[in-house]
């Protein structure tokens, strides 16, 4: 069960969050040139050598992750034709509602995530209200909240899976 | 607290958790959680399990505790 794609899916989300974070840090730190007048429109980003190198590496990493995730999703759907998953659905993939016990596990994990957001969102708003923030800090905050959300979900689901395996 | 005899009756029929789960239309994990008392099944699932294990629901599940 630990190898169930849906148990591992939050880890993929965390991986994508990390990649997004690196890209956000580089882009917000780069020199940008934005032109929008009557005759022209352009937007350019100028990166230093180090940042350019990191972007040069991180974009293939991102593409490889997308390809591996697509393969895993396709494999899961072939093995489970009656409960196919789609990344384009409105329901998060990590929900495991095959039957009653998994509904319970999902509900418990989701409740903890909800509790986390109930507290973290007002504190985040207060933080940005009181402390002068940059675009980057707001993005880091959003990524950190998402990161924590998936960690809470994964840890709670995995705990039940571990107990079940023992 | 909800107590049950699922494990005992399952053993009597020599079903594995997976086999019982398959007959009841749930996963092996659900049977495991029920047996450990970590999860209270719905009325529908309780009736299915009682039917499969050839007993009445109140022979399979009962409440234990002073408040009851």
Q: Is the pLDDT of residue B58 over 70?
A: yes
What pLDDT shows up at residue B66?
A: 62
DSSP for A31-78, please give it.
EEEEEE-SS-EEEEEE--HHHHHHHHHHHHHHHHHHHHHHHHHHHHHH
A104-156 pLDDT, tens digit each: 888 899 999 999 999 999 999 999 999 887 888 888 899 999 999 999 999 99
A67-104 pLDDT, tens digit each: 999 998 899 889 888 778 887 877 777 777 778 888 88
* Residues A101, B45: C-beta atoms closer than 8 Å: no
What pLDDT shows up at residue A166?
A: 45
What pLDDT shows up at residue B9?
A: 95
B2-57 pLDDT, tens digit each: 899 999 999 999 999 999 999 999 988 899 989 988 888 999 999 999 999 999 99
Q: Where are the domains of chain A?
A: 5-164
Touching A: B residues 2-61, CB under 8 Å = 25-27, 29-30, 32-34, 39, 41-42, 45
Q: Chain B within 8 Å of A4 (Cβ-Cβ)?
A: no
Size of interface A-B (CB pairs under 8 A): 29
Domain spanning B2-54: which CATH class is it, in words? mainly alpha
A49-62 pLDDT, tens digit each: 888 888 889 999 99
Give which of B49, A85, A117 is closest to B39, Cα–Cα. B49
Distance, in Å, from the CA atom of B32 to the CA atom of B47, rounded to the nearest integer, reads 17
What pLDDT shows up at residue A160?
A: 78
């Amino acid at each position: 069960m630990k190898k169930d794609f849906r148990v591992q899916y939050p880890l993929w989300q965390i991986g994508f969050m990390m990649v997004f974070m690196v890209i956000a840090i580089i882009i917000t730190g780069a020199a940008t040139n934005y032109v929008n007048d009557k005759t022209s429109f352009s937007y350019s980003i100028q990166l230093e050598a180090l940042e350019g190198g990191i972007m040069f590496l991180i974009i293939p990493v991102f593409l490889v992750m997308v390809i591996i995730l697509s393969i895993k999703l396709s494999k899961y759907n072939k093995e489970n034709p009656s409960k196919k998953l789609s990344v384009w659905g409105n329901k998060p993939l990590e929900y495991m509602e095959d039957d009653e016990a998994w509904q319970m596990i999902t509900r418990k994990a989701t409740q903890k995530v909800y509790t986390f957001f109930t507290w973290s969102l007002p504190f985040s708003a207060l933080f940005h209200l009181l402390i002068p923030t940059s675009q980057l800090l707001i993005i880091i905050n959003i990524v950190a909240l998402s990161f924590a959300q998936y960690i809470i979900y994964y840890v709670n689901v995995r705990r039940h899976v571990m107990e079940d395996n023992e | 607290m909800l107590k049950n005899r699922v494990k005992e009756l399952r053993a009597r029929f020599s079903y594995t958790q997976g086999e019982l789960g398959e007959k009841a239309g749930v996963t092996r994990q659900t049977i495991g959680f029920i047996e450990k008392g970590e999860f209270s099944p719905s009325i529908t699932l309780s009736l299915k399990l009682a039917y499969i294990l050839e007993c009445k629901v109140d022979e399979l599940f009962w409440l234990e505790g002073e408040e009851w």
